[in-house]
Amino acid sequence: MGQKIGFVSTRFAGNDGVSLEAAKWASVLEEDGFECFWYSGRNDRPVAISQCTPEAYFGDPENQWINARIWNQPRRDPVVSQRIREVSDYLKRTLYRFVEQFEIDILLPENAITIPMHIPLGIAITEFLAETQMPALAHHHDFYWERTRFSISAVRDSLDLAFPPSLPNISHAVINQRAQSRLAFRKGIGSMLVPNVFEFEKPAPEIDDYSADFREQIGLSADDILVLQPTRIVPRKGIEHTIKLVSLLNNPRYKVVVSHDAGDEGYEYQTRLEEMAHQENVDLRCIADRVSEDRQLDARGQKLYTLWDIYPHADLVTFPSTYEGFGNALLEAFYFKKPVLINRYSVFIEDIEPKGFRLITMDGFVSKSNVDAVARLMEDDEAQQSMVEHNYEIAKRFYGYTTLRTSLRALVQGLTGTPS
């Protein structure tokens, strides 16, 4: 029986990037003989292999009370310090219980000592690792210095201590080159670059009996050109560029479909997008109420579709983000063999573009050449096929499970001194 790895985060549930990437890592590790177990505040993993500690969830009321008093202000009240200490001590005890119950050999914090959405949890993990000297592999997705909302705080001491900690028993993995260099500069911590991946070794699902009526269900015809924006409705996703593109195409066949909702960042941006679409005479459909993590019926008896039900129906995927830590939606578009229009955000320029993908690229705004390129491509099936097949093969080479397996084996061997 292989070694036991304990994944730790504030949430392992749903389709957020951390949960999805953690599941991919677990799949590859399990194929190499490891057993994987899960600790988090929200958890959809089987009960037999997980410990759900509600206080570890970033949305727990106690943590929300703390967050309201530590961000966007330079000092904190002693009562806040006391509450942070009490919660972190409690969470540390639950981590000890998790490790003892499942006989964990290696701890794998997933973004929990990276982005400070739950300060007490980060401190608890850090102190647990300092006390036990257990080998740990920290998987970093989003550092606090990459988010403006964490730039002013009353917890600089906690950020220095635990986000992330510099301990000899922790190996670090980051998802892009910029994160790797900034982590070294800010913390003096070396890391391995392990980009997000997809199982390109397995063909993508196609339209089946359940998903066949998706277009009909959202009011589109077979002749409509479905422009899929497979993201949440938040400003950094740049959805206004997708609307501008379709406006300039000036063809009523083009319909913009946005798959996700606004989430926890408010609805002002969505309202602005809807106003813009109305002014530009663009058919914009925000269909988050028809999208679910699983196929099911809603309270009104309407079918809900997964994102993977939707991708096969798309004619073009737009990804005009201004910033991404990596860009999972881009890999998904490659996986489903869809042509892509993308804004050249920094991580794309540094990490992804040099690989040689064929894409329609924009530099901060939609140009006439972008509009012409989309119009030509949508009328040329042969060019589309050549483009998407080329992108699939490159993505398989650089972002497939084979690449992830090689990286994880090296990381584990570096931690334990023995091959995985």
pLDDT tens-digit profile of 196-209? 999 998 999 999 99
Domains of the chain: 4-197+401-416 (3.40.50.2000), 211-398 (3.40.50.2000)
Exposed, middle or buried by CB within 10 Å (0-12, 13-18, 19+), for 390? middle
State the chain's mean pLDDT as an integer: 95
Return the residue matching tokens 């070294």. Answer: 184
Residue-level pLDDT at 4:
97
Residue-level pLDDT at 267:
87
* Cis-peptide, bond into residue 320, ω within 30° of zero: no
Residue 415 CB partners (closer than 8 Å, separation 6+): 106, 135, 136, 137, 169, 171
Q: Is the separation of the CB atoms in 210 and 309 below 8 Å?
A: yes
Residue 66 CB partners (closer than 8 Å, separation 6+): 80, 83, 84, 87, 119, 120
Residue-level pLDDT at 363:
96
Residue 372 one-letter amino acid: D
> Do you know the residue count of the chain?
420
Residue-level pLDDT at 326:
85
- Summarize pLDDT for 266-300 with one digit per residue, the tens: 789 999 999 999 999 999 999 999 999 889 999 99
Q: Compute the distance between CA of residue 241 and CA of residue 218 in angstroms, rounded to an integer.
A: 22
- Summarize pLDDT for 43-99 with one digit per residue, the tens: 999 999 999 999 999 999 999 999 999 999 999 999 999 999 999 999 999 999 999
Q: Compute the distance between CA of residue 171 and CA of residue 190 in angstroms, rounded to an integer.
A: 8
Closest C-alpha to 136, from 157, 165, 115: 165
Residue-level pLDDT at 357:
97
Q: Compute the distance between CA of residue 289 and CA of residue 200 in angstroms, rounded to an integer.
A: 29
Q: Which residues, given as ranges, of the chain have pLDDT below 50? A: none
Residue-level pLDDT at 420:
55
Q: Compute the distance between CA of residue 182 and CA of residue 170 in angstroms, rounded to an integer.
A: 18
Residue-level pLDDT at 395:
96
Residue-level pLDDT at 1:
52
Q: Compute the distance between CA of residue 396 and CA of residue 199 in angstroms, rounded to an integer.
A: 8
Closest C-alpha to 145, from 115, 166, 119, 177: 115
Closest C-alpha to 347, from 321, 329, 324, 365: 324
Residue-level pLDDT at 263:
67
Residue 232 CB partners (closer than 8 Å, separation 6+): 260, 261, 262, 263, 265
Q: Is the separation of the CB atoms in 203 and 190 below 8 Å?
A: no
